[in-house]
Amino acid sequence: MTDKTIKKNIILIVDDNQNNLDVLFDLLKKSGFKVLVALNGESAIKQIERIHPTLILLDVMMPGIDGFETCRRLKTNPTTQDIPVIFMTALSETVNKVNGFQVGAVDYITKPFQYEEVLSRLKTHLTIRNLQNKLQEKNTELLQANDNLEKLVEQKTKQLIQQEKTAIIGRLTQGLFHNLRNPIQVILTTLSLIEIKAQETGDTVYLKNSEHISTAVNQINDIINTLMLKSRREQEEDLQLVNINELLRREIQLLEADFNFSNAIKKKYIFDDEIVSIPLIYCHISQIFHSLAENAIDAMSGGIVKELTIITRQDEQRIYIDVKDTGCGISPENLSKIFDPFYTTKLAKYEDMETGVTTRNGLGLYTCIELLKPFEGEITVTSDCENGSIFTVILPKNIKRFPL
C-alpha cells in the first residue's frame, strides 16, 4: 500500500480500555491512517452510521454489548455489512475465536500488540477489501455491458426481421404485379370496347357501370405502377440537379389549385435560400412531398386549427424538408407501423367520378421510403396527438451511388 492509499482509509478502533486505544491510535496515526475511536459497541454503531469507516478493530470483551454482538448487528445492516471487522483479544481471555468468524469477522489480533503484525494484517485486509470493491465495480460494469448488448442484439434482430419481411413482401409483390399487368390490360381493352358499344346504343346504365369498373381497374393499375419501382439504370437516366426550394414552390402552386388547401388551411413556408441544388429524380421528390402534404391535409381534416408549415434547411452533409401539421397526430403504438405497406387508418372509399373521393391504400409513406433508398435518404417523424406531426425528409448532399 502506498502512502496515498493509506491516507484514504479510515480505521475505527472500538475498545473500552483507554490504554489500548491510545497505543493503537498513535500507531495507526503515525502510519498515515485516518483514525476514529469508540469506547463501546453502542457508540461504535452510532458512529459507523454517520461515518463509513474502511475497517473496524473491535475489542471482544466490552461492557454493554460485546464485540461479537456489535459485529453481528453491523453484519445484518446492508449499509455496514461490507466493512471488514478484525477482533482484538487479550492472550489471557478465553474467547471462542470461531464465534467471531461466525458473526462475520475477517481476522483476530492479540493483545499485547505486535505492532508489525497489526500493521501487516491491517494492510492485507484493506488490500483484500479494495480488490473486492474493484471486482464488484467490474462486475456491475460487466452486467451493464451485458444488458446493453442484449438490448442491442434484440433491437438488431427486430430490425433484421423487419428488413427481411419487407424484402420478402417486396419480392412477392414485384412478381405478383408483373403478372397482374397483362390481365388488367385485357380488362381495360375489353371495357373500352364495351364503352364504345354502349355509346353507340346510348345505353347509359352500361356506360355508367363500365366507367365505374374502369376507374377501379385504373386505380389498381396506379398502385401497381407505383410499386413497380424502376431499375437502377432507369433511375440514373432520370437524375438531374434539383433545387428543393424551387421544386417545393412549384408543388405548392399545384396544391393551391385545391379549394380546401387554398382556403381552409393556414400556411407557413420557411425556406433557406442558401440551399444548394443536389442530384435527385425530380418526380420522385415531388411525389414524396405530395404524399406528405396529402397526409398532413388528411390529418387536419377534422380539426379546428389547421396549419401547415413547410421548412427547408441544410447542414454540411444534408438537406432537410420538414412538413409540419396541426392534425390528429399518431399514437405511439401506431408510429412504428406507418411505413408498412398497406397500413392505413383512413377509411377506404371507392373513387367516385362525381365527388372525386379517392381511396387510401396505405402506400404513400412506404413508397416515399422506397423512392428515397437510392439516394440514401430517409424520413423521420415526431408526432403526438396534441400537437400534430412533423415529417422530415433527409437528403444527403453527396450520394455515393449516384455521382453526377
Ligand X SMILES: Nc1ncnc2c1ncn2[C@@H]1O[C@H](COP(=O)(O)OP(=O)(O)OP(=O)(O)O)[C@@H](O)[C@H]1O
Candidate residues 8, 267, 290, 346; the one interacting with ligand X per rule CB under 6 A: 346
- For the bound state, the minimum distance from the C-beta of residue 391 to ligand X, rounded and expressed in Å, comes to 6
Give 343 or 402: the residue with its C-beta nearer to ligand X.
343
Nearest to 125 by CA among 44, 53, 51, 23: 53
Contacts of ligand X in 96-155 (CB under 6 A): none
- For the bound state, the minimum distance from the C-beta of residue 295 to Mg ion, rounded and expressed in Å, comes to 4
Give 96 or 334: the residue with its C-beta nearer to ligand X.
334
Sketch the per residue contact string, 232 through 271, with ligand X: x for CB under 6 A, - otherwise.
----------------------------------------
Count of residues engaged in binding ligand X, rule: CB under 6 A: 22
Give 32 or 341: the residue with its C-beta nearer to Mg ion.
341
335 CB-near residues (< 8 Å, 6+ apart) = 381, 383
Candidate residues 221, 291, 312, 326; the one interacting with ligand X per rule CB under 6 A: 291
Q: How many residues does the chain have?
A: 404
Sketch the per residue contact string, 306 through 345, with ligand X: x for CB under 6 A, - otherwise.
-------------------x-xxxx-------x----xxx
Binding site for Mg ion (CB under 5 A): 295, 364
- For the bound state, the minimum distance from the C-beta of residue 49 to ligand X, rounded and expressed in Å, comes to 57
363 binds, among Mg ion, ligand X, none (CB under 5 to 8 A by kind): ligand X
Contacts of ligand X in 363-392 (CB under 6 A): 363-366, 389
Q: Report d(CA 244, CA 331) in Å as an integer.
A: 30
Give 327 or 364: the residue with its C-beta nearer to Mg ion.
364
Using rule CB under 6 A, residue 361 touches ligand X: yes
Give 99 or 219: the residue with its C-beta nearer to ligand X.
219
- For the bound state, the minimum distance from the C-beta of residue 390 to ligand X, rounded and expressed in Å, comes to 9
Binding site for ligand X (CB under 6 A): 291, 295-296, 299, 325, 327-330, 338, 343-346, 360-366, 389
